[in-house]
Structure 1
Amino acid sequence: MSIPTPPSLPRHIAIIMDGNRRWAKNRFMPAGLGHAAGAQRVRDIVKACAEMGIPHLSLFAFSTENWKRPPEEITGLMGLFRTYLQREIRDMNANGVRLKVLGDKQRFSESLQKLIADAEQQTAHNLGITLYICANYGGRWDMLQAVQAWQKNNSNLSLDSLTEASLAPYLSTADAPEVDLLIRTGGESRVSNFLLWQAAYAELFFCEELWPDFTGETLNQALVWFAGRDRRFGSSAPI
């Protein structure tokens, strides 16, 4: 299977990494080991996207709804996030990865917030792929905070003055193009409050593989499928 080449490659891929817990359950393992296997898969897929020249990759790591999970699982996820930030910076710099963490970071511990800020600062000047880790993120939250930020900076204007173009710079992904391809693993077919504004015209690719089993081969399948899509963006003729 041949890999598409620019301009048929998406500029921005977003992935809902679903299936870590089921992957562990199928192997009679605790959920934490499934999340650890999923973190390893993140490394592989980021590297694959960087090598193909895809400029933007967003990964749904922890949603605003995930706080409802058992406390021990949340503690494990926060620990895994901490470990990822500490261990991956060297490889990110070696591979030109610029890291940005999107979401409401205020709910994280101060030490984790500092790790996030340090990781973002250390990779800020990398010119390869930009990796967006969406943590304590929700699409509805993103739109709400954008409106609030716009209103704060435009207190002399009424909401009647707000347009799509004027709101876009206040979204958490203000420096990224809109999502071209949204992938969800794990056999589910929903977007789960992920990048709702940014994925308005995204092509949606759903696959059965649980996230720890998602390989470069499946990524290539998604890219070949994407390259064959007729993207009209609401018009009557291909663009």
Structure 2
Amino acid sequence: MKELLDMNRIPQHIAIIMDGNGRWAMDRGLDRTFGHKAGLDNLEQVTTVCSNLGVKYLTVYAFSIENFNRPAYEVEALMGLVLSFFKMQLFHNNNVSFHVVGDVERLPQSVQDKLRSMVEETAMYDGMAMTIAMPYSSKQELVNVSKTIARKVQNGEMNIDDITEDTISENLWTNWMPDPDLLIRTGGEVRISNYLLWQCAYSEFYFCDCYWPDFSEEELHKAIISYQNRQRRFGKTEAQIEAEAEEEVNNK
């Protein structure tokens, strides 16, 4: 599939909902935690592939705030996997910086320390930025933004009429990165499950049936090819987009 990619139109920011780990394990007669281990192993491979393709931002949904409602043993196992997953070699070899977004203070202290250590130890890398959303809730993120802006208005730091879309974006956990161009969800479900609701307003969506541990390099190429075969109009007409493209070519 790689030869079908247009390397000049690789999405700048890919967001992924890594779904299907538990079902992958259960189909094999294994405990669900084995699926999460396989999923994290696959994340290493996908991170490397994305970096090699020239993707600038990779943001993955690793654990939602709602996931704390899962059986305690599964949550505990997931926290343990996080502690053992991150290997400096992955980031060093690919010039990738590590980031985390979400309500990190809800995590066990050992996991918080590990995540912050990874952020610090990879800060010098200027290639792709790989971000883990953990624990994340887009609704909670927007509630936090609303409270932050309300306090600024209350304290006289800004006027209510000055609030714009940019004001919202500037106060999100993801305020330092562009919005996703492409959102991929594995596992066969067709929803975005409280993930980057504001940020994905104009993202292209790609859903596939394969479980996340089976999401291979070829599957990633399929998703990107699907993205490249679409016309992103952002509210404009097809004729406007084509005219703008023609004008851009003529100006070169």
Common topology (TM > 0.5)? yes
Q: CA deviation at 1:89?
A: 1.9
For 1:92-107, list aligned pairs within 5 A.
92-107=91-106
The secondary structure found in structure 1 opposite 2:100 is: strand
Q: What is the root-mean-square deviation of aligned Cα atoms in Å?
A: 1.4
**CA 93–147 in structure 1, closer or farther in 2 if over 3 Å, else same:** farther
**Larger helix share, 1 or 2:** 2
Q: Which residue of 2 aligns with 1:214?
A: 215
Q: Which residue of 1 aligns with 2:247?
A: none
For 1:5-84, list aligned pairs within 5 A.
5-84=6-85
AA matched with 1:39: L
Distance in 2 (alpha carbons) for counterparts of 1:159 and 1:144 = 17
Q: Which residue of 1 aligns with 2:90?
A: 91
Deviations 1:121-175 (A, max 9, x none): 1111211110110011011112222232334455313444321112211111111
Distance in 1 (alpha carbons) for counterparts of 2:123 and 2:73 = 33
AA matched with 1:115: K
Asked whether the equivalents of residues 105 and 136 of structure 1 are also in contact (C-alpha less than 8 Å), the reply is yes
**CA 84–150 in structure 1, closer or farther in 2 if over 3 Å, else same:** farther
Q: Which residue of 2 aligns with 1:150?
A: 149
Asked whether the equivalents of residues 62 and 135 of structure 1 are also in contact (C-alpha less than 8 Å), the reply is yes
Structure 2: unaligned runs, 5 residues or longer: 245-252
Q: Which residue of 2 aligns with 1:124?
A: 123
Moved more, 123-132 or 144-153: 144-153
Percent sequence identity over aligned pairs:
36
For 1:197-212, list aligned pairs within 5 A.
197-212=198-213
Q: Which residue of 1 aligns with 2:250?
A: none
Q: Which residue of 2 aligns with 1:4?
A: 5
The secondary structure found in structure 1 opposite 2:58 is: strand
Deviations 1:159-196 (A, max 9, x none): 44321112211111111111110000001100001011
Asked whether the equivalents of residues 3 and 223 of structure 1 are also in contact (C-alpha less than 8 Å), the reply is no
Aligned residues: 237
AA matched with 2:130: L
Distance in 1 (alpha carbons) for counterparts of 2:62 and 2:78 = 9
AA matched with 1:223: I
